Structure 1
């Protein structure tokens, strides 16, 4: 786990820096510099592009990770990369040619009061294709175990660009319509930068000859493209469905709560970048012991780090909403709790998904993803549209589906590989998280009415003091109970 922890630690710092910038954008700048309606439109466009992206990517980002390490010679690897680099165009080009029909379909799903999106739907296509090629070249570097620069582009690039564009809107250097245009260009530029870096890390000799297992590659890609497209629906269908019933600014309100709840998953995103190729390599080498080792250690380390941020987020969320300029953004505590709980359970499963997607049992990913996407859609229809539970209903749908299907994945890996992520430390971690959460969730410091240039800073003071207290108690218990030897060594290194 040495290389995993080393790069994961760097990637975690990058991702949390990105989340910090994203949090400032989401909580401070977006609501103040963009109208809530326009912010809701941005959320809708980006969510729609996230749903389309797996389709345009043709599953190549996963295909590269799965197959690259199975080739023994450079020539074989170069043939493979030469073949897959053009596969996304099979879907991207026809989709762009018939985009007028896609545009009409999108607008048919949008309520009449939200027609503001009509002039910007082509940005959905451009961002989806740019993200598809970014993920392709990012996987290109992952298999070389070089994840840090790509992670900077993936996590920091767009958030920094958004911050700069929001300031440009504030100082009237650009208008709100131009904000969308420049944001789209930023996604395209990111893909180009990633391409040049990928070629610098590993530049192949291009062959106009297909690898011998090309049929297996295409078959795998087709399964993963369908699974990825269905899986993406789970992440963004909520934000896409909101404009079909409520005004588009509700998407902005919900997006803020989901962003806060998703804050805890940064370590998972960081560790996954390096765990995917390592898991694939272990499976290709039939190293069952290493697969189990990665499974258990990724689980406890992600559960440990994610648990701390799960407590911090949920114990500080009520104060955090006090920073929002409009009341419509507040009241999302239940959304934050449910989304963060779903994320924490996913983190507890460690590299479970990487094991399934890179093994000979990858076909199960398709029915699982389809079941998740159909399930969350149906539950949204019930909770949001019929029972009128509002955005709490959307979050509840997501929580139920993630818990149910992650449990199925947990059982599946145990059934096929006879391994689980459980260790004695798992139950210790669950107890620590639950007890600290219950102790601090309903209690806040009574500091109030402190402003700096009309900006409320008393919530920040309350969050900071409470977070320091929770963190000290949490880390002390982690050390005392020896939860993770790897993390103990890492922290002691920096402590000294």
Structure 2
């Protein structure tokens, strides 16, 4: 097994383990042990830190990965490593001065609806810097082909330490206020551990030098700062907006709902890791027909896999919410809204990979900036009227419009089409099974009901997809599995 395949497999396993720990924290430990107010506060602080993180990192984590291999000598590489590690410090200084100068104005603005935020304002830039340098030193390890440890820290370590902190809170070893500071300390520890691991892989020899290709580096960095800011705003910006219009507890309700809905997008990660290089190769070789076929295959395959995950979530959502405190039940509608937005994004297949490998790659950034503006405006309109449902609806509407814009761009500019008649069949099948199982509730304990209903959904979903030959690729996988276990279909 090659190093890339080996580490990709390990990273996939780590991601799912981390997601499982995160699910336990999000669905049970945070709501029960921390309570809505401090759960929301902790979530707001980390979300705000994540939004400003690209400004502190100034895109160096991506710049390091892109340009490191282009340097031919060891001396040039060491100079570039030094530049990527030290240059963000210079950028943090003016940002820090701006923050100090406008501290009172910023604090008054973000805490006008929720005064509890005021006490912890300084933790936001602190965690943001820790996140930024974690990403930089994680990239330092990745360019030396060591990605597993950093991924473990990011996906499992942070969540596992949060679990331990929550247990400490339960046994009253720490208070609610101390838990917030412990959360900041966890991010600081993750940064330190990753930094020393990166230095262990490649001993630093810091030099204050500027790379010869600094113009290309800084131009790329500028686009990465913008694209990273756009991505993080889309991920966490709605929580920041909720803080401006509603009591902070609503962020907790919203966070639980969005975490559940985000499961729908998890299956796309593994496929995109495989499809991105294939897409680039086909575009480089100008194989339009093969690329068009790949576009259709990724679309229908992701639609089936993502549709299955969405279906299991939607039909079990009422039982799932019976496991969390009753005040969180208002988030059920949010799960549907955010879930549908992720589903619409899934069915575009390798759309992003296609755009990123053309001369029009900047178009994704421009569309993303437009999406951020649209999302902010829609949140300002709908949150005061509909609360957390309004924020979810704003996300659904803006991401759907964004997805349509990307789809039309690829269709018009590149004459590539992702949809076939199987797309309609898959949607109808998913919707029909939703109608059958959503209103059918078993009179058992919630976990047993969820397990039983999920098993029935899985059997029917797989059978009907196989029977109607929605995806030849998935049918082929099913055939090979049955063949190995000696079952003839």
TM-score range, shorter chain: 0.7 to 0.9
Report the alpha carbon displacement of residue 142 of structure 1 after superposing the two structures with TM: 5.1
Partner residue of 1:242?
242
Return the alpha-carbon distance in structure 2 between the equivalents of residues 47 and 28 of structure 1: 20
Report the alpha carbon displacement of residue 371 of structure 1 after superposing the two structures with TM: 0.9
Partner residue of 1:394?
391
Return the alpha-carbon distance in structure 2 between the equivalents of residues 479 and 260 of structure 1: 27
Report the alpha carbon displacement of residue 144 of structure 1 after superposing the two structures with TM: 6.3
Report the alpha carbon displacement of residue 460 of structure 1 after superposing the two structures with TM: 1.3
Partner residue of 1:43?
43
User: Is the contact made by 1:12 and 1:267 (CA closer than 8 Å) also made in structure 2?
Assistant: no
Summarize deviations over 1:108-133 as a string: whole Å, max 9, x none: 23354621122212221122122222
User: Is the contact made by 2:279 and 2:291 (CA closer than 8 Å) also made in structure 1?
Assistant: no
Partner residue of 1:336?
335
**Which deviates further from its counterpart, 238-247 or 343-352?**
343-352
Partner residue of 2:92?
92
Report the alpha carbon displacement of residue 210 of structure 1 after superposing the two structures with TM: 4.4
2:320 matches 1:347: no
Q: How has the CA–CA distance of structure 1 residues 115 and 55 changed in structure 2, closer, same or farther, with 3 Å as cutoff?
A: same
Return the alpha-carbon distance in structure 1 between the equivalents of residues 142 and 410 of structure 2: 24
TM-score for the superposition, normalised by structure 1: 0.84
User: Is the contact made by 1:7 and 1:274 (CA closer than 8 Å) also made in structure 2?
Assistant: no
Report the alpha carbon displacement of residue 94 of structure 1 after superposing the two structures with TM: 2.5
Report the alpha carbon displacement of residue 27 of structure 1 after superposing the two structures with TM: 1.9
Return the alpha-carbon distance in structure 2 between the equivalents of residues 213 and 384 of structure 1: 46
Partner residue of 2:374?
375
Partner residue of 1:451?
none
User: Is the contact made by 1:301 and 1:484 (CA closer than 8 Å) also made in structure 2?
Assistant: no
SS of the residue 1:324 aligns to: coil
Partner residue of 2:463?
476
Return the alpha-carbon distance in structure 2 between the equivalents of residues 303 and 72 of structure 1: 43
1:438 to 428, 435, 438: 435
Report the alpha carbon displacement of residue 166 of structure 1 after superposing the two structures with TM: 0.4
Return the alpha-carbon distance in structure 2 between the equivalents of residues 353 and 144 of structure 1: 27
User: Is the contact made by 1:66 and 1:280 (CA closer than 8 Å) also made in structure 2?
Assistant: no
Partner residue of 1:453?
none
Return the alpha-carbon distance in structure 1 between the equivalents of residues 66 and 58 of structure 2: 14
User: Is the contact made by 2:315 and 2:438 (CA closer than 8 Å) also made in structure 1?
Assistant: yes
Partner residue of 1:485?
473
Report the alpha carbon displacement of residue 485 of structure 1 after superposing the two structures with TM: 2.9
Q: How has the CA–CA distance of structure 1 residues 205 and 424 changed in structure 2, closer, same or farther, with 3 Å as cutoff?
A: farther
Return the alpha-carbon distance in structure 2 between the equivalents of residues 398 and 88 of structure 1: 32
Return the alpha-carbon distance in structure 2 between the equivalents of residues 94 and 250 of structure 1: 34
Q: How has the CA–CA distance of structure 1 residues 72 and 315 changed in structure 2, closer, same or farther, with 3 Å as cutoff?
A: farther
Report the alpha carbon displacement of residue 11 of structure 1 after superposing the two structures with TM: 4.0
Equivalence map 1:177-216=2 (5 Å): 177-198=177-198, 210-216=210-216
Report the alpha carbon displacement of residue 395 of structure 1 after superposing the two structures with TM: 0.4
Equivalence map 1:54-73=2 (5 Å): 54-68=54-68
Equivalence map 1:42-191=2 (5 Å): 42-68=42-68, 80-101=80-101, 103-112=103-112, 114-140=114-140, 147-191=147-191
Partner residue of 2:310?
310
2:454 matches 1:467: yes
Gaps of 5+ in 2: none
TM-score for the superposition, normalised by structure 2: 0.85
Report the alpha carbon displacement of residue 85 of structure 1 after superposing the two structures with TM: 3.4
Q: How has the CA–CA distance of structure 1 residues 254 and 203 changed in structure 2, closer, same or farther, with 3 Å as cutoff?
A: same
Report the alpha carbon displacement of residue 351 of structure 1 after superposing the two structures with TM: 4.0
2:407 matches 1:410: yes
RMSD value, Cα: 3.5
Partner residue of 1:364?
363
- What is the aligned length? 480
Return the alpha-carbon distance in structure 2 between the equivalents of residues 85 and 377 of structure 1: 33
Return the alpha-carbon distance in structure 2 between the equivalents of residues 6 and 21 of structure 1: 23
User: Is the contact made by 1:268 and 1:302 (CA closer than 8 Å) also made in structure 2?
Assistant: yes
Report the alpha carbon displacement of residue 62 of structure 1 after superposing the two structures with TM: 3.2
Q: How has the CA–CA distance of structure 1 residues 468 and 141 changed in structure 2, closer, same or farther, with 3 Å as cutoff?
A: farther
**Which deviates further from its counterpart, 394-403 or 23-32?**
23-32
Report the alpha carbon displacement of residue 404 of structure 1 after superposing the two structures with TM: 0.6
Equivalence map 1:285-300=2 (5 Å): 286-289=284-287, 298-300=298-300
